Structure 1
């Protein structure tokens, strides 16, 4: 089955289902297509994106427990990358992030701690920041 987005010469939009693209052409040629709103037979296909299916698995195909494990692994990798490649500025995060943003400190990746108020102020002032994913629990700590 093929679904086409259709419209009539009065601007009414609707859809039609056909067994094949040839079926649309045949029905159109025989005057069998009409607008369901105004009964106009001046019906034409609209531009629409094709619905393409593939064999790749989608997120919906992954069971929730596996999805959670994948997300925890990704978060752990992000955190490990940041800890290995960025400077830990501890409690000075807010002031150092602002200094880098304003050009008063060396441009570099940093991480550390900030209070909710400091985070709000940085965001409001346009300082680009993002939360660091929490450290994933150790396997020995899991049930």
Structure 2
């Protein structure tokens, strides 16, 4: 699905569920990471996350479009368009739009953990960031700290 098809789908959903035309742009934004889509207040455009289409399918994308169209139509009518507003919640229920989208599967990011050890008492320290061993001493005994080198 490309931007042109998303535009057509959004216009179709708007007429079917809201009985009002969608007169602005709807398109995919590849920079969206954690949200399914967003309604832009200044330009009245709708940006969508393409990952939701590939991971959850067109049904989920249609739900996201309905949700963003609720923001769109209420904002243009001067009614409460925010998540906490009664108008917004009522319109979500009326058109069957989800309040929140299904989360994307989280890709675990492995981060290097550095291990440091006290030369006198053997106390170990795990750190995500590098530490200047000349500047710090062991909090338990005051001994020198050295970084443990990983083997393998």
How high is the TM-score relative to the length of structure 2? 0.21
TM superposition score normalised by structure 1: 0.22
Q: Rg bigger for which structure? A: 1
